[in-house]
Amino acid sequence: MKPQVLQLNPILIPAVNDELASLYQVHKFFEISDQAAWLREHGARIEAVITGGHTGISREMLEQLPGVKVVAVNGVGTDAVDLAYCRGRGLPVTATLGALTEDVADLAIGLLIAACRNLCAGDRFVREGLWEQFPSPSAIPLARRFSGMRVGIVGMGRVGRAVATRAAAFGCQIRYTDLRAMDDVPHEFVPDLVALARASDALVLCAAADKAEGIVNAAVLDALGPQGFLVNVARGRLVNEADLTEALVAGRIAGAGLDVFVDEPRVPQALRQSDRTTLQAHRASATWETRAAMAQMVLDSIAQALAGERPALSLTT
């Protein structure tokens, strides 16, 4: 009999689903109507779990899976997994660290350029036939140049470094903040977030700080100022959305490019309606290349765990 795998989230790469089906008996939990009854009847046979960073897995569910040997997170977020419980149980939890870096950094720069140059507003202006009605060059307000901006990066991990590399190629001056200064980073370290915002034309959030909340508040936004831009490709809850909305409406910052939100998929109406925002649906890693690489990491982690090995990508010891 094939090993039993419980899959909590869909995987969008057909070839990976085919490989999973060839190697394991895969139970797609998201398609099961009476999930509680199914767990009571079949939970003891499950040897591996595949989940997503946002979904994670509850301790209550894990307690119904006594034979599970690995929790493979198809993503980088683990705040929805009880890591302390998993450590105590000796259960490996893996994540697809590194696979998302390039795409997330690409989108961060894309959001910043789109916000600075009003790309979405310009697109609507053409699509809605307004260019023909208002052909004067002054019909669309002048935009902000991205090249040469002072960019402040919050979180100089993999993504932060990749964003810095890209921004530096546009002649941007880079500063950053993190829990500590990085010896191998050539850019200026600014320990205080308000001070970093004050010294920046754009603030890019890249921190994977799962427990931080509302660190970008009114004080930070006021320090960023009416010519400043905010980009968030990290965690939605890093931003106080009420403070951000007020700052945008009042013109206390110039604009924001957001891929993540506090209560996804519910996005505040004020952010959706604002001409100062460029919004995405948490899709920074949504390319075929990255999703295939992530899925392969999941496959590798399951194979290693079921072979009695400690998965290479394990976050628990």
> One-letter amino acid identity for 40?
R
On the question of a common fold for 4-99+289-307 and 100-279, the answer reads yes
Dist. CA 172–CA 280, nearest whole Å: 24
DSSP string, 250-303: TTSSSEEEES--TBTTB--HHHHH-TTEEE-SS-TT-SHHHHHHHHHHHHHHHH
Determine which helix (DSSP H) or strand (DSSP E) holds 47, and give its type and residue range. strand 46-51
Reduced to 3 states (helix: H, G, I; strand: E, B; else coil), residue 26 is strand
Host H or E run for residue 93? strand 93-94
What residues does each domain of the chain span? 4-99+289-307, 100-279
Q: Indicate if the pLDDT at residue 269 is higher than 90.
A: yes
Q: What is the pTM of this model?
A: 0.91
Q: Which CATH class is domain 4-99+289-307?
A: alpha beta
pLDDT at 210 (0 to 100): 65
Residue 176 token pair: 């950053």
Mean pLDDT value of segment 258-262: 97
Q: Which two tokens stand for residue 64?
A: 């119904």
What the block records as the tokens of 261 is 């939100």
Q: What is the CATH number of domain 100-279?
A: 3.40.50.720
- For residue 299, the Cα-to-chain-centroid distance in whole angstroms is 21
pLDDT band at 1 (very low <50, low <70, confident <90, very high): confident
pLDDT digits 0-9 by tens, 175-216:
999 999 999 999 999 999 999 999 999 999 999 876 789 999
The 10s digit of each residue's pLDDT in 115-172 is: 999 999 999 999 999 999 999 989 999 999 999 999 999 999 999 999 999 999 999 9
Annotated catalytic sites, by residue? 235, 264, 282
